[in-house]
Amino acid sequence: MTHPADSSAFNIAPSPSGFAQPGSPDSCAARDHLIAANIGLHDLNQDCVIDGNSPGLANIINHPIRFMIRSDDPIRRALGLGLANAINQVFGVNAVVPTLGSIAQLRPLVFISAPEGVTDDWDVYTSGWNLGGPFPDHLRPLYGSTFASDQCGGAQNAETNNYGFLCVSSFDTYANAASQTADVQTFSTQTLAAFNQFGLHVGSIPVYSRGIRTAALRTLAGAVDQRGQGFSNPWTLLSGHNNPAYTPSNPLFKFGGGQNMIRWGQRQGTSQLNPFKAETLWEFNLIGEVYDTLFAASPIEPANVMCWMCDNYQLSVDSQGNTHFLVELRQNLRWQDGVPLNASDVKFTLLNFRDVPAANLVANVQLVLSVTILASYLLDIKMQGQSISHIINLASVPIIPRHIWELTGDKTYADVGKADPAKTSTSYDMLSSGTFIGSGPFMCRSVFASDFGKVGTGCGSNSDGSRSGQALGVGATVILQAYDLTSQSGNVDPFLQYMRSYNAAWGTGTGTRAQSGQFQEFSWADRYDNGTVTIRDLASVASCYGKTDSTGCLDYSYWLRPAFHPGTPTAIGSEITIVSSHLDDTWVYPFSWSGVQSNQPGQTLENIVPFTP
């Protein structure tokens, strides 16, 4: 069949409804393809509908296409129903059997296979992806043979990324090559070749690319318009706050509806909050607020990745051509139950997400070859080959607490063990078990009287107000509180708070509350405003040890914080310990916040809040 010169790649003649009508040129062309397939179909009366007495039609009727159609997206619903109807019209019988459902309802059919479910239980699905990265590096994890469970020679994974089990070796060759180069031009060449193979084998049928337009209340100050995402993103939750300067015309539009909270509506509920099993955007929206990542990509320039839980990293390539990230962690990292976070947690996370594997995160760590702990806050991450995506992939991995997830007594990886199989199971519910505990900016803390204030549980409510587990349906709510427990009665750990917390009242109050606000503490420790707490800063405060005035201590008034030692309000003492605990701390490494190269060398980040000394 030859298309007219002026036709598009998608239709021969216009289709006002969006789908070919019976007898239209496109409908007749579809009929021609079916007959040419030589599966026993004919159209002897030339009405562009397969004849009912075609010998091959019985087999089609007995084995209809099982079409999974998302009903929670109006566009995908219309697409699925329209396509199913058009196919049935050409066959003249019900060749397609549609199943409509939300992502939660279709999940057991589409996303889950052996050993946790049936492998062959669908044929077509109206899928959709939100790809937020800076490069088209999604092809390999979504369609590569190694990610198709054990259907193409890979390891069995009940919730694999390549859930359509596409197995095309020629595609794999180019996709693998694209994942193993640090050269952008080579990446582009190999990726284009992979796309060509993907298209030749009809790996999927792209239909449309969604445009994004989001809104936010003007009473919300600090909203971040993330490129390609809009306002609905973790950065908005980090910096969003009440805007008292604006009074809305309708009280409904007050910040938090009149309460001191940010309201973030989700289009879908959740089925899994277990990082090993979570798959959907809405599940990771919640997971990403409780857990934190080692690195973070700029919301405006996603190819620019900064240290987040770390102070700095050094990149090198060994003699075998593999990439190493030598990472120094921050010293003020705490899990929300008070346990210190260190290099063993990072190693445990990366290797277990790779080997268990984690349903949606295995692609990010599949090229991790090893993790070596060099000290409590120093580790070496070895990645296979070189890739422009290595650090971007690592930036999407939530770090989980080893002391909660590790199988007791196990030492599979020498100094850390494997994850407890009971906790990586689909049936494991962290909200019910009281283990929804991370190190991120927000914490799950019970709002129910029976265990009010307990961290790790009780933050979810069903639509009727009853306590929920991780399966959150329509009308359910989750209330997350800012992670800062420094004012908690009996607390003696000044770092029992988010490591990037913000509190303008830092340096006042009593007990550990005086250290609430780790940004302010970092800024104070960075005496010389070069974006890093250095030996020079430490030497300055150390020279003032025991001083009660500026004699011999030129920076006495700068360093003195009486709230840290009310018993000796004029003598500098614990200030030295505090500054030393922030030694090497940075905020946006390896980038320059101020842009002053003599003081803060490095590339600047677009649209970042101006540096304030």
How many other C-beta atoms are found inside a 10 Å radius of the C-beta of residue 111? 23
Q: What radius of gyration do the chain's Cα atoms show?
A: 28
Domain assignment present for 345: yes
Chain CA centroid to CA 600, Å: 30
Question: Quick one: three-class SS letters along 278-289?
Answer: CCCHHHHHHHHH
What mean pLDDT value characterizes the chain?
Answer: 95
Round to whole Å and give the CA distance between 357 and 160.
Answer: 9
Give one DSSP letter per residue of 250-271, joined into a string.
SGGGSGGGGSSS-----SS-BS
- Please answer whether residues 458 and 449 qualify as being in contact, where contact means their C-beta atoms are separated by less than 8 angstroms: no
Count H helices, E strands: the chain?
A: 18, 17
**Amino acid letter, 428:** Y
Q: Pick from 566, 520, 496: which is nearest to 574 by CA? A: 566
Q: What's the whole-number mean pLDDT along residues 166-183?
A: 97
Do 443 and 528 have their domain in common?
A: no
The Cα-based distances of 510 to 44, 486, 506 in angstroms read 90, 10, 11
Q: How confident is the model at residue 252 (pLDDT cuts 50, 70, 90)?
A: confident
Question: Are 303 and 426 in a shared domain?
Answer: yes
Residue 385 pLDDT exceeds 80:
yes
Beta strand 292-293 with 398-399: parallel, antiparallel or unpaired?
antiparallel
Around Cβ 346, how many Cβ atoms within 10 Å? 26
CB of 305 closer than 8 Å to CB of 396: no
Q: What is the pLDDT of residues 65-93, one digit of tens each?
A: 999 999 999 999 999 999 999 999 999 99
Q: For 545-550, which contacts have Cβ atoms below 8 Å and span 24 or more sequence positions?
A: 545/572, 545/573, 545/576, 546/571, 546/572, 546/573, 547/571, 547/572, 548/572
Please list the residues that pair with 442 across neighbouring strands: 482
The residue among 266, 527, 293, 495 whose CA lies nearest residue 399 is 293
pLDDT tens for each residue of 451-509:
999 999 999 999 999 999 999 999 999 999 999 999 999 999 999 999 999 999 999 99
- Rounded-to-integer distance, Cα 168 and Cα 173, Å: 9
DSSP readout, 475-500? T-EE-EEESB-TTSTT---TT-B-TT
Residue in 93, 459, 413 with CA at minimum distance from that of residue 286: 459
How many C-beta atoms surround the C-beta of residue 261 within 10 A? 14
562 and 461 in a single domain? The answer is no
- Inform me whether the pLDDT recorded for 322 exceeds 50: yes
> Is residue 257 one of the residues assigned to a domain?
no
Last residue of a domain, one of 168, 201, 234: 201
At residue 208, the pLDDT reads 84
Give the Å distances, CA to CA, from 165 to 74, 138, 140, 271, 367. 27, 15, 12, 23, 20
Rounded to whole angstroms, the Cα distance separating 398 from 438 reads 9
- The token pair that represents 499 in the structure block: 């490591």
**Structural domain contains residue 210:** no
Concatenated DSSP letters of 308-369: SSEEEEEEEE-TTS-EEEEEEEPS--B-TTSPBP-HHHHHHHHHHHHHTT-TTTHHHHTTEE
- So what's the pLDDT on residue 1? 45
Give mean pLDDT, residues 108-136: 92
The DSSP code for 147 is: G
Beta-strand pair 124-125/241-242: unpaired
% of the chain at pLDDT higher than 90: 89
Q: Name the token pair of 598.
A: 């003599």
Over the stretch 524-533, which tens digit does the pLDDT of each residue have? Answer: 999 999 999 9
Structure tokens at 44: 């002897």
Statement to judge: residues 153 and 42 lie in one domain: yes
Instruction: Say if CB 438 and CB 401 are below 8 A apart.
Output: yes
538, pLDDT greater than 90: yes
Are both 126 and 160 inside the same structural domain? yes
Mean pLDDT of 196-209: 91
Q: Are residues 474 and 518 in the same domain?
A: no
User: Percent of the chain beyond pLDDT 70?
Assistant: 99
For residue 611, give both structure tokens: 């540096």
Amino acid at 440: G
76's enclosing H/E stretch is helix 74-91
Residue-wise pLDDT for 127-164, tens only, equals: 998 887 889 999 999 999 999 999 998 889 999 999 99
pLDDT digits (tens, 9 = 90+) for 262-273: 999 998 999 999
304, 297 contact by CB (below 8 A): yes
Peptide bond into 566 cis (omega under 30): no
Cβ–Cβ under 8 Å, residues 104 and 271: yes
Residue 166 belongs to domain with CATH number: 3.10.105.10
pLDDT of 95-111, one tens digit each?
Answer: 999 999 999 999 999 99
CB of 456 within 8 A of CB of 434? yes
How far is 553 from 560, CA to CA, in rounded Å?
Answer: 11
Asked if 525 and 582 touch (Cβ cutoff 8 Å), the reply is yes
Q: How many domains does the chain have?
A: 3
Task: For residue 61, tell me if it sits in a domain.
Answer: yes
**Vertex 564 angle, CA 561 and 569, to 5°:** 65
Q: Which domain holds residue 447?
A: 265-487
Across 562-610, the runs of DSSP E, i.e. the strands, are: none
190-to-137, 143, 169, 197 alpha-carbon distances in Å: 11, 15, 14, 11
- Residues 534 and 473 placed together within one structural domain of the fold: no
Shared domain for 321 and 191, answered yes or no, is no
19 is a domain residue = no
pLDDT in tens, 331-376: 999 999 999 999 999 999 999 999 999 999 999 999 999 999 999 9
pLDDT of residue 207: 85
The CATH number covering residue 301 comes to: 3.90.76.10
Structural domain includes residue 561 = yes
pLDDT score of 205: 86
Final residue of a structural domain among 487, 520, 555: 487
Long-range contacts for 74-83 (Cβ within 8 Å, ≥24 apart)? 75/208, 75/210, 76/126, 76/128, 77/126, 78/18, 79/126, 79/207, 80/126, 82/17, 82/18, 82/19, 83/19
> What is this structure's pTM?
0.93
Q: Which of 439, 455, 487 is the last residue of a domain?
A: 487
Q: How many CA atoms lie within 13 A of 99 on its CB side?
A: 18
Per-residue pLDDT at 3 exceeds 50? no
* Interior angle at CA 418, CA 413 and CA 419, nearest 5: 155
Q: Give residue-wise pLDDT tens across range 12-32.
A: 888 888 899 999 999 999 999
Instruction: Tell me, yes or no, whether 406 and 539 share the same domain.
Output: no
Judge if 510 and 481 occupy the same domain: no
Of the candidates 291, 243, 265, the one whose C-alpha atom is nearest the C-alpha of residue 442 is 291
9 occurs within a structural domain: no
Say which residue the tokens 């490129």 belong to.
227
Task: Assess contact for 326 and 313: CB atoms under 8 A.
Answer: yes
DSSP state letter for 592: B
- For residues 440 and 523, membership in a common domain is answered with no
Task: Note the pLDDT of residue 216.
Answer: 87
Q: What is the pLDDT of residue 209?
A: 85
Same domain for 506 and 477: no
Tokens coding 589: 């490494």
Could you give the 3-state DSSP secondary structure of residue 372? strand
Is 218 part of any domain?
no
For the ranges 40-49, 147-156, 335-344, 534-543, the lowest mean pLDDT is seen at: 147-156
Segment holding 306, helix H or strand E: strand 305-307
Rounded-to-integer distance, Cα 497 and Cα 193, Å: 48
